[in-house]
A and B are shown apart, each in its own frame.
Chain A
């Protein structure tokens, strides 16, 4: 399988090379591979690439932690309390249908153009993902598992800590995986829309303003690589921590 994957990668780069070097596609849209590589190398030698990755990663991390924390906390609350769960369903569905980019101006108004507006947008988007999945996980604990604890006269906190939370964990992990990749998207978008000096989104935007397409490609490939890496990481964590999924 690994060999086939390398083969496919080489084929894709091959097609890219043919299209670019033969000038079938203008370098304005599709720069030559060596130009992209050169731009990548320049980014490394000037350390600009690390500054951008660092800035984006920091925003993703802080936003995800804040949003995830709030999302899990309120998700447990909503999922546990049946009345609130039933009442809140249409609101949650409504709110998650609103694209975060539509709310971005509000964050801008509230937090200004600094980092806090971007972090707030990331926290909002990833928090909502975490909330929805936590609610789902908590609300769908098999009643039998709770009854077992009830027959043992478990206190409410024990029921929550020893039965409901572990049982919701597989769904919470699904939340973590979607929320993290969503957080990267929102980070890049907000960096493009809200002017800033550092960040992958800002780098892509600035490059495109100056028609430096090869720099745009470096940004795109970097974003993809980061998303891919995070996905591998969370998939590994999922296997490790929720080994009983689908059992």
Chain B
């Protein structure tokens, strides 16, 4: 059901992985999934572990070829679109041989800018967003929250039209989690990218998104689509809203599937 103003269009998407336990068999990760995301929207995708939500995100990033069906971003293949991607594991996504500033600036010099100009732009972005990081240090000397913030800035320095977040808060402790959640809201507001967040934390999903999409257990299909009508910017207090409890229940039931044993 592609809408008229859809920016990201997922049409009848299926992804099957070869089954390691049996030859010539396949594990279906995503089963005929269609989804349309309007330009500038913030979508959270929730689902239980191993349901295929990261697979969906990899397809949106063009990192994985669908078995059947199509993904289109502004009408073209995701492999031709430059997106921003934040992985859960910042340790394995940041480049430890580069300083924090060079990590953030990397997308720019990869695209042909001079190192000096890229560094300047990265510093400017941080001033604009009022973000303070020890930029001359190496990422492994920073706290987890600061490292993930570095990864987030690197994902937006080239102002991508699509921002994909794969459990960005998953590896963080509670304190840095809420800090980074605020940073995500602020940064997204500033660059206005169409954003897809994958998580299994319902509070996080509701707090950040305009729409929460719940997936069924594997193979992933859409179980529920909920619009979150809450004013922005949202802080932890939003979770006190009585509406939230009902939403969480609906999403929870949906993502566990109706035919749970």
Q: A243-B138, A247-B96, A247-B140 are known contacts; what are 10 more A-B pairs with Cβ within 8 Å?
A: A144-B92, A145-B93, A151-B61, A151-B62, A151-B82, A151-B83, A151-B164, A152-B106, A154-B110, A158-B110
Contact among A145, A152, A243 with B82 in the assembled complex (CB-CB below 8 Å):
A152
The answer to whether the Cβ of A163 comes within 8 Å of any Cβ in the partner chain is yes
Give the B interface residue count (CB, 8 A). Answer: 24
**How far is A142 from B89 in the complex, measured between Cα atoms in Å?**
10
Interface on A for B, CB 8 Å cutoff? 142, 144-145, 147-154, 158, 162-163, 166-167, 169, 242-244, 247
A-B contacts, 16 listed (Cβ < 8 Å):
A145-B92, A145-B95, A147-B87, A148-B87, A149-B110, A150-B62, A150-B63, A151-B84, A152-B82, A153-B80, A167-B97, A169-B97, A244-B96, A244-B97, A247-B96, A247-B140
B31-71 interface (Cβ within 8 A of A): 61-63
**How far is A154 from B106 in the complex, measured between Cα atoms in Å?**
11
The answer to whether the Cβ of B136 comes within 8 Å of any Cβ in the partner chain is no
Q: What's the least CB distance linking B136 to chain A, in Å?
A: 14
**How far is A151 from B63 in the complex, measured between Cα atoms in Å?**
7
A147 x B63 contact (CB < 8 A) = yes
The answer to whether the Cβ of B158 comes within 8 Å of any Cβ in the partner chain is yes
B140 x A163 contact (CB < 8 A) = no
Residue of A nearest to B86 (CB): A148
B92 x A244 contact (CB < 8 A) = no
**How far is A150 from B93 in the complex, measured between Cα atoms in Å?**
12
A152 x B63 contact (CB < 8 A) = no
Residue of A nearest to B158 (CB): A152
Q: What's the least CB distance linking B18 to chain A, in Å?
A: 15
Residue of B nearest to A150 (CB): B63
Q: What's the least CB distance linking B148 to chain A, in Å?
A: 13
A152 x B89 contact (CB < 8 A) = no
- Chain B residues with CB below 8 A from A152, complex form: 82, 106-107, 110-111, 158
**How far is A235 from B89 in the complex, measured between Cα atoms in Å?**
30
The answer to whether the Cβ of B85 comes within 8 Å of any Cβ in the partner chain is yes
Q: What's the least CB distance linking B222 to chain A, in Å?
A: 24
Residue of A nearest to B107 (CB): A152
Instruction: Map CB proximity to A onto B116-156 as digits: 1 under 8 Å, 0 otherwise.
Output: 00000000000000000000001010000000000000100
B71-119 interface (Cβ within 8 A of A): 80, 82-85, 87, 89, 92-93, 95-97, 106-107, 110-111
Which of B61, B62, B97, B154 is most buried by chain A, counting CB atoms within 10 A of its CB?
Answer: B97
- Chain A residues with CB below 8 A from B97, complex form: 166-167, 169, 242, 244
**How far is A212 from B62 in the complex, measured between Cα atoms in Å?**
72
Which of B82, B84, B89, B93 is most buried by chain A, counting CB atoms within 10 A of its CB?
Answer: B93
- Chain A residues with CB below 8 A from B138, complex form: 243-244, 247
A162 x B110 contact (CB < 8 A) = yes
- Chain A residues with CB below 8 A from B164, complex form: 151
Residue of A nearest to B85 (CB): A151
Contact among B80, B85, B158 with A148 in the assembled complex (CB-CB below 8 Å):
B85
**How far is A224 from B90 in the complex, measured between Cα atoms in Å?**
44
- Chain B residues with CB below 8 A from A145, complex form: 92-93, 95
B163-180 interface (Cβ within 8 A of A): 164
Residue of A nearest to B108 (CB): A152
- Chain A residues with CB below 8 A from B63, complex form: 147, 150-151
B110 x A147 contact (CB < 8 A) = no
Q: What's the least CB distance linking B143 to chain A, in Å?
A: 14
**How far is A4 from B26 in the complex, measured between Cα atoms in Å?**
64
- Chain A residues with CB below 8 A from B61, complex form: 147, 151
**How far is A163 from B97 in the complex, measured between Cα atoms in Å?**
10
Identify the 8 closest CB pairs spanning chains A and B, nearest first.
A244-B96, A247-B140, A142-B92, A151-B85, A144-B92, A166-B97, A144-B93, A152-B107
